[in-house]
A and B are shown apart, each in its own frame.
Chain A
Amino acid sequence: MLRPYSPRLLLLLPTVTYRTVAFVEAARRLGVDVTVASERPSTFERANPTGLVTLDFADPAHAAAQARAFAYAHPLHGIVAVDDDTSVVAAAIAQELGLRGNSVAAAAAARDKHQQRQLLAAASVAVPRFELRTIAADPERLAHGAYYPCVLKPLRLSASRGVVRADDPPGFVAAFRRIKAILEQPELAECGEWARHVLVEEFVPGREVAVEGLVTRGSLQVLALFDKPDPLDGPFFEETIYVTPSRFARTAQQEIAACAQAAVRALGLREGPIHAEVRHNDSGAWLIELAARPIGGRCSGALRFESGETGNGRRDTSLEELIIRHALGMELPTLEREHQASGVMMIPVPGAGVLREVRGVNAAQAVPLVDEVVITMHHGQMLVPWPEGSRYPGFIFARGETSEAVEAALRAAHARLEFLTEPAD
């Protein structure tokens, strides 16, 4: 008897992503055959040549050629990228194999903050004033020509790494030198021309939200709007709490969604997940950044969607299941988020040092409305504060009747955690 048809998904998983379990298990729940592609070979690749492949994530065109060779023997029906870097690789492969996805140009523009700003400004999407500067420039000269307050940021680093606000020329010089030191670290200095530049942009005051969405034929469906109740006014921009549904007024939410849709259109994105950071103030919505990928870290755990039936009755659908279904052209269940309010706290780095112990996890877990406390950093690993760092020690999840209650539960749980560290050698 012939084996029932099962589509095959190419899942681009960098070896350092947090997203592995969520995507691999989502594919299993959907009964989808998966080929996992990483930038470094799995030790099982020869044993399971259909399920594992190594691709050159640093060179999207090369990765596309490798994927084509792979697909001759193992036909592929969809592709999913989980982070910024692989979003461009996924676009190249989708284009090469005729799979659902974005153009390389659109994905690359979303990946690079300067290109993105240029396209958005040209399309009259509200973005901060910006200028591109080389790290070889004299910061003291640049400081005198800058507008204040401003924000300096690398073109490609994720999780607000290297993003610093400056309020005056001395602050500008200090921020510039700090970012330059980050970009001159060997693993970044070799990454290409982007690592030799800094974007300087006007600081936009206002409250910030995150937009999680799914794009189909260029049309954005907003899946969730997350409030960020802790002000992100700098000098560094480490994220903390995300809570949905948003407490913004309906008109403001509509402006934010329209801003994100305009950005999608301006960048030329056609298919797949997006994650956008938008600020809102008296002038309306401002697009701060838009990435052609889903929400990062473990934060997708804060999202559950109403779903259809299974053999055992109703069950919730994860964001990853929606993304995989979309990539494979499978029918999408409802895109309505669950009725409860939900939130996640990216646990702030308590200070620099080597993590020795985390106390209070059970007490934090016991806080009413708290779903889960996940410590993702291992004992012995370095805690590096922002702006040099980009890694949270863990995540707290909560659900409840209202966004206010969820936010309060996250804060209460966080207050019960204690991180013990030692100075680094």
Chain B
Amino acid sequence: MHAGGVRRFASPDEAQGSPLAQAIFAIPGADVSEVIVSGNLVTVVKRSPAPWPAVGKAVGQAIRAALAAGQPAVASKPAAAGSATADDVLYERVADLFDSQVNPMVARHGGRVELIDVQDAVVMVRMAGGCQGCGMADVTLRQGIEAMLQQHVPEVKGIVDITDHTAGSNPYFAAAKK
């Protein structure tokens, strides 16, 4: 869907020029607030009470239509003019935190957390190794990584996990019981 890294769209205006994101923002009744595209993974955040399964089917239709159109589904991220943006500065600080603290911690369980991007102060991560598909991955994300970000980089507004956890083949903790 998008080979040029990660793109995050936080409004329909930002989605202009990216047909896939535009189509997802336009899903009736979904009130989509965020679309993130990374490679072939599409993450959608919505505000409406519409059930996910219904919205998910509409997202699927949007993806199929974008692919069938034969045009780039997502435009490349515009280059920042001039000096480093606030997100660039945040990215460096978050990357330092990941290198110095987060990844040494998850490495004890064979895991790895990749910093994918920081856009509008929202951190996007992908979990790998023992973290991918781990039954406790959400605890690691919320009680571990998010808590450390709040402490060390309080300017960060949120964190989004774009991992395909169903594809994890070696989770550290595999869910096994009720």
Q: Is A289 an interface residue (CB 8 A)?
A: no
CA distance A314 to B137 in the complex (A): 29
Surface stretch bound by A, among B7-15, B18-26, B85-93, B169-177: B169-177
Name the distance in Å between A338's Cβ and chain B's nearest Cβ.
9
In this assembly, does B71 line the interface, its C-beta being within 8 Å of a C-beta of chain A?
no
Contact with A along B132-152 (1 / 0, CB 8 A): 010111111011110110000
The answer to whether A48 and B178 touch across the interface, beta carbons within 8 angstroms, is: no
Closest B residue to A20 by CB, please name it.
B138
| Min distance, Cβ A4 to any Cβ of chain B, angstroms | 16
Determine whether A129 belongs to the interface, using a CB cutoff of 8 Å to chain B. Answer: no
From B31, B51, B173, contact of A16 by CB (8 A): B173
B108 contact set on A, CB distance < 8 A: 43
A371 touches B51 (CB 8 A): yes
Q: Mark A13-39, 1 if CB is under 8 A from B, else 0.
A: 111111011001100100000101010
Residues of A359-415 whose CB lies within 8 A of B: 370-372, 374-376, 378-381, 390-391, 397, 399
Q: Is the C-beta of B109 less than 8 angstroms from some C-beta in chain A?
A: yes
Contact A13 B139, beta carbon cutoff 8 Å: yes
Residues of chain A with a CB closer than 8 A to B76's CB: none
Q: Which residues of B contact A13 (CB under 8 A)?
A: 136, 139
Q: B109 contacts A48, CB within 8 Å?
A: no
B61 to chain A, nearest CB (A): 11
Q: Count A-side interface residues using an 8 Å CB cutoff.
A: 48
Partner of B178 from A18, A20, A316, A379 at Cβ < 8 Å: A18
Who on chain B is nearest to A369 by CB? B53
Is there an interface contact between B143 and A52, defined as CB atoms closer than 8 Å?
yes
| A381 and B174 form a contact (CB under 8 A) | yes
Are A44 and B138 also in contact (CB < 8 A) when A83-B177, A378-B174, A380-B169 are?
no
Proximity bits, A47-71, B CB within 8 Å = 1, else 0:
1100110000000000000000000
Chain A residues, CB < 8 A from B70 = none
Task: Judge whether B166 and A375 touch: CB under 8 Å.
Answer: yes
- Cα–Cα distance between A371 and B51 once the two chains are bound (Å): 9
Q: Give chain B residues whose Cβ lies under 8 Å from the Cβ of A380.
A: 169-170
Min CB gap A315→B, angstroms? 4
A42 touches B143 (CB 8 A): yes
- Does A423 make an interface contact (CB < 8 A)? no
- Minimal Cβ-Cβ distance residue in A for B142: A24
- Cα of A14 to Cα of B49 in the assembled complex, Å: 31
Interface residues of B (CB under 8 A from A): 31, 47-49, 51-53, 56, 101, 105-106, 108-109, 133, 135-140, 142-145, 147-148, 166, 168-171, 173-178
What 6 pairs across the A-B complex have the smallest Cβ distances? A296-B178, A44-B144, A371-B53, A315-B49, A43-B105, A51-B143
